[in-house]
Amino acid sequence: MRILVQRVESAFVRFQDGGETPRSNAGLLALVGFRQGDTEALLEPMAKKLVELRVFSDDAGKMNRSLADTTGDLVLVSQFTLYADCRKGRRPSFSEALDPVQAERLYARFVEICGHQARVVASGRFGAMMSVHLVNDGPVTLLLDSGELGMAPNAPAV
């Protein structure tokens, strides 16, 4: 499981049909992707890691506060392209990405779990064409990978 995290001043998602999610205030935008072999066992620890990641400044200006500490907003967007393999040729391969049926189930459950730990303002639509709008704060952009975090022992490092 991978999560590309961006600290934002604001964010929202616009759908191809013209609808859009509520607009967030300061918080995090998280692009979430699943790979083959990922299971529901990853969801709780990855949600906790995301919500408790200390990326917000304290009074001394150090990144020492988490989303939970700031009561910031969280926008979640499914993103299978986080598992693109670009090593060969010019066209990315997505063979490592989890199949859509399983990924949609895991994503829905991840949104639910995050909702118990943080204020989830919005979630993109799984499999939909979307445009993600954000004002990156910092900019601060981080990649959480369950394999690198020791949560999936057989997953290769990025």
For the four alpha carbons of 86, 129, 103 and 49, in that order, the dihedral sign comes to positive
Strand partners, 8: 27, 136
Q: Which of 80, 102, 110, 126 is catalytic?
A: 80
| C-alpha triplet 97, 101, 103: angle, nearest 5° | 45
Local structure of 6: helix, strand or coil: strand
User: For residue 104, what is the enclosing H or E element?
Assistant: helix 100-117
Contact (Cβ atoms closer than 8 angstroms) between residue 43 and residue 106: yes
**Residue 95: CB partners within 8 Å, gap ≥ 6?**
85
Active-site annotation holds for 79: yes
How far apart, in whole angstroms, are the C-alpha atoms of residue 116 and residue 105? 17
How far apart, in whole angstroms, are the C-alpha atoms of residue 13 and residue 130? 6
Q: Which of 16, 36, 71, 81 is catalytic?
A: 81
Enumerate the active-site residues.
Answer: 79-81
